């Protein structure tokens, strides 16, 4: 193991053109790691706190960097992350910012991997096992907080569950993205793009379901394997005064459960994220009881990569899957803890990007290292394809080991 020599922090652009925090970690033996923090738009109330980037950098330089340089070994990721938590001194990284903490945490892991001369996923403890790989979920129609004048449901996600390898899955997702564009054009519907590169047409949810169903069927036939689709409802963004507010319609919590359960049945959905409000453990449990044997009911705003909230959900059977976002909790170690608790209790971990992304590829390695069955990356866009292309490279390299 080798000590941290220096930690450098700077502001760089994310995919929305906003500032975010990037960290460089250099070790005394010459190892180097660089990582940048993403940023969410649809954020859960219980997420770790992201500070304004300049403020986060200043605080990290004052409180965290002096505790790391010359004192912490990069090969001990938990020690790095414990040091970041101790430097912050709060439960939610409100002192130095989760954006500075996660950038340093990921950069330290990359520096350690560089010292070892190993790919990051191996340093973090994983490799492809047989024919297993994380299936990429690609956002191809988007609305909600990610696009104006589009669908109420935030994300319509392609899920190439029958793909024989990562490369075929990646190209199938891109093909669905292109097919959706063609179908919208045939309908005379113009469409710009939302934050994650998904099409953001001015159509209602019912039309979006029709387009997705047709696009997935066409590409599945072309590629010769099963492709399904799923949703990120982002229901907390629709919930107000005890009801879910859709365009021209409201639903009670009980009606929302019925609505989502019917969608799972009608469209054979592979995945449903945040179908209910972030505090509705009971509603999640009821929906899971009804359809959890045929689809993933995934908690994002519900669990926020937090083991305490996940444990509460496990106790009542809320969901059967957790979305894992390192910046949502602040460090790689905390993200690993959430994955491990989930797996021990039969929950599937889904590693995820954020709507405001960078070219950083850490989550691709994290998905492989944790043997996660799914990864949310988007389908197109440089900051999204960075992760997808890295998965293709990992698969090819791992097959040679």
From the candidates 5, 278, 286, 325, which is the catalytic residue? Answer: 325
Superfamily of domain 135-398 in CATH is Enolase-like C-terminal domain (3.20.20.120)
Mean pLDDT, rounded, for 139-165: 90
Is 196 considered catalytic here?
A: yes
**pLDDT greater at residue 333 or residue 399:** 333
Mean pLDDT, rounded, for 124-130: 61
CATH 3.20.20.120 placement within the chain = 135-398
Percent pLDDT > 90 in the chain is 90
H/E stretch holding 19:
strand 19-27
DSSP code string of 224-251: TS--EEEEE--GGGTEETTEEEETTEEE
At residue 371, φ and ψ (nearest 5 deg) are 55, 40
Query: Of 320, 332, 323, 322, whose CA–CA distance to 353 is shortest?
Result: 323
DSSP collapsed to 3 states, 24-38: EEEECCCCEEEEECC
From the candidates 47, 179, 196, 395, which is the catalytic residue? Answer: 196
pLDDT in tens, 280-313: 999 999 999 999 999 999 999 999 999 999 999 9
User: Are 271 and 212 spatial neighbours (Cβ–Cβ below 8 Å)?
Assistant: no
User: Are 195 and 41 spatial neighbours (Cβ–Cβ below 8 Å)?
Assistant: yes
Residues in a beta bridge with 9: 23
Which tokens sit at 223? Answer: 């590629």
Query: Of 165, 224, 134, 223, whose CA–CA distance to 399 is shortest?
Result: 165
Residues 6 or more apart from 226 whose CB is under 8 A from it? 160, 161, 162, 220
Mean pLDDT of the chain: 95
Burial class (CB in 10 A: 0-12, 13-18, 19+), 201: buried
Residues 6 or more apart from 199 whose CB is under 8 A from it? 140, 141, 142, 177, 180, 181, 184, 191, 192, 193
Which tokens sit at 44? Answer: 């859960």
The conformational region for residue 287 under phi > 0 = left, psi -120 to 50 = alpha, else beta, is alpha
CATH (residue range 4-117): 3.30.390.10
Is 357 considered catalytic here?
A: no
pLDDT in tens, 75-126: 999 999 999 999 999 999 999 999 999 999 999 999 999 999 999 999 998 6
Residues in a beta bridge with 159: 228
pLDDT in tens, 36-70: 999 876 666 899 999 999 999 999 999 999 999 99
Mean pLDDT, rounded, for 167-176: 98
Residue 130 pLDDT class (50, 70, 90 cuts): very low
Which tokens sit at 273? Answer: 């994220």
- pTM for the complete prediction? 0.95
User: Are 100 and 51 spatial neighbours (Cβ–Cβ below 8 Å)?
Assistant: yes
pLDDT reading at 146 higher than 70: no
């Amino acid at each position: 193991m080798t000590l941290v020599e220096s930690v450098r922090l700077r502001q760089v652009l994310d995919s929305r053109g906003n500032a975010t925090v990037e960290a460089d970690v250099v070790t005394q033996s010459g190892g180097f790691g660089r990582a940048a923090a993403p940023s969410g738009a649809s954020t859960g109330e219980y997420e770790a706190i992201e500070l304004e980037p300049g403020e986060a950098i200043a605080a990290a330089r004052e409180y965290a960097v002096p505790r790391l340089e010359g004192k912490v070994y990069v090969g001990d990721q938990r020690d790095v992350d414990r040091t970041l938590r101790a430097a912050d001194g709060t439960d939610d990284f409100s002192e130095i910012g989760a954006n500075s903490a996660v950038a340093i945490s990921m950069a330290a892991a990359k520096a350690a991997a560089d010292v070892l001369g190993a790919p990051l996923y191996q340093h973090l403890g994983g490799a492809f096992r047989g024919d297993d790989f994380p299936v990429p979920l690609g956002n191809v129609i988007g609305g909600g907080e990610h696009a104006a004048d589009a669908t109420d449901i935030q994300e319509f996600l392609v899920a190439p569950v029958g793909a024989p390898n990562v490369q075929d899955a990646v190209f199938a997702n891109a093909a669905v993205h292109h097919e959706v564009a063609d179908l919208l054009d045939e309908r005379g519907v113009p469409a710009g793009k939302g934050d994650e590169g998904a099409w953001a047409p001015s159509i209602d949810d019912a039309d979006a379901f029709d387009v997705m169903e047709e696009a997935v069927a066409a590409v599945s036939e072309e590629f010769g394997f099963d492709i399904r689709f799923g949703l990120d409802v982002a229901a907390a963004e629709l919930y107000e005064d005890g009801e879910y507010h859709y365009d021209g319609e409201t639903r009670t919590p009980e009606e929302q459960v019925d609505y989502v359960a019917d969608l799972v049945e009608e469209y054979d959905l592979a995945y449903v994220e945040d179908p209910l409000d972030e505090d509705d453990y009971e509603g999640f449990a009821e929906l899971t009881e009804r359809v959890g044997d045929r689809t993933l009911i995934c908690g994002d705003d519900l669990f926020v990569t937090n083991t305490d909230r996940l444990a509460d959900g496990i106790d009542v059977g809320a969901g059967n899957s957790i979305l894992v976002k390192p910046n949502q909790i602040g460090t790689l170690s905390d993200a690993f803890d959430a994955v491990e608790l989930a797996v021990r209790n039969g929950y599937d971990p889904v590693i995820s990007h954020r709507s405001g992304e960078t070219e950083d590829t850490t989550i691709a390695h994290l998905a492989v290292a944790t043997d996660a069955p799914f990864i949310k990356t988007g389908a197109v866009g440089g900051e999204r394809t960075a992760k997808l292309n890295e998965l293709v490279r990992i698969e090819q390299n791992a097959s040679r080991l």
